[in-house]
Each structure stands twice: as structure tokens, then as C-alpha cells.
Amino acid sequence: MGIANILHRDSIMLNLATNDKYSLLETLVNLAAKSGKIKDINNVVQKVIDREKLMSTGVGKGIALPHAKTNAVEDSVAALAILKNEIDFDSIDGKPVKLVFLLLGHDSNVGNHLRLLSMISRILNNDSFRNKLINASSQDEILKHFQEIDNDL
């Protein structure tokens, strides 16, 4: 399963204006809900926030990868935000984030969730690919970049 299979056009937001990590997480869950795969938005928001409170998902290089597993989703689903202004995310490198990719998975499919999380991390760690996403001018352009990289995997 590739990234383009779990990331829908309506679940991508460019130039998102926010300066609060937790309201950003709630916005991302609401974006992911546009896929129709989330059964209980409040449950999912709480799971994502609880996971973030355990340890920041700010992985460095301006990237955050918030994620959670819950029975409140039907299947793996994602959302992506390119922020208008970088925000503090308590990242491991101490730098603010610009790109935030949310991954949600079903409790019963841990293996797939971990594979997707690893794939997303590896892809976004590529400076050239990450810059393509940050400089994209539309949701369609972002999806095209993910489709191209999915084909290369």
C-alpha cells in the first residue's frame, strides 16, 4: 500500500495558519476525516494528542509525523499540512516544523501501520522530495509527487 492510497486530495492543506501544536493536530484529524474512514473524530483527536504527549513526533528537518492507532478508524488514513509559518513542535532537533504528516491506523493492523510510518519517514527525510512538497502550489501537485514516489518503491 502506497502513500497515495491513504492520502486523499481533500486531506491536504497548504499554507495552514496556526501557532498551536494541539489545534494543528485537531485540524489534521478533521482533514483525515474527509476520507470517510474515521468513525469517531473525538476519539481519534484524543488518541493523537495522548500519543503526542508521550513524546513529540517532531522528527527534525522541519517535519512532524503525528500518528496513532485506534479502532475509531476503518483503515489506514493520512492528512498532510504545509504550514504558512513554522511552529514549535518540541522536535528532537529543537527546530520548528513546516510540514506535518498525520498517519492513523487501525489497532488490529500494527504491522501495516509501522511499515507506512517507516516509509513516510524515509520519504520525507529526502531533502529534495520534502522541498517539492513544501513548494507545491496545489493538493493535486502533492498527490502527484506521492504517486511518483510510490511507483519507485
| 106 DSSP 8-state letter | -
- Name the amino acid, one letter, at 80: L
Q: What whole-number distance in Å separates Cα of residue 68 and Cα of residue 106?
A: 9
Quick one: which H or E segment has residue 73? none
- Residue 67 appears among annotated catalytic residues: yes
Q: Which residue has the cell 496556526?
A: 18
CA quadruple 72, 140, 96, 2: dihedral sign: positive
Task: Catalytic residue, from 67, 106, 113, 145: name it.
Answer: 67
Active site residues: 67
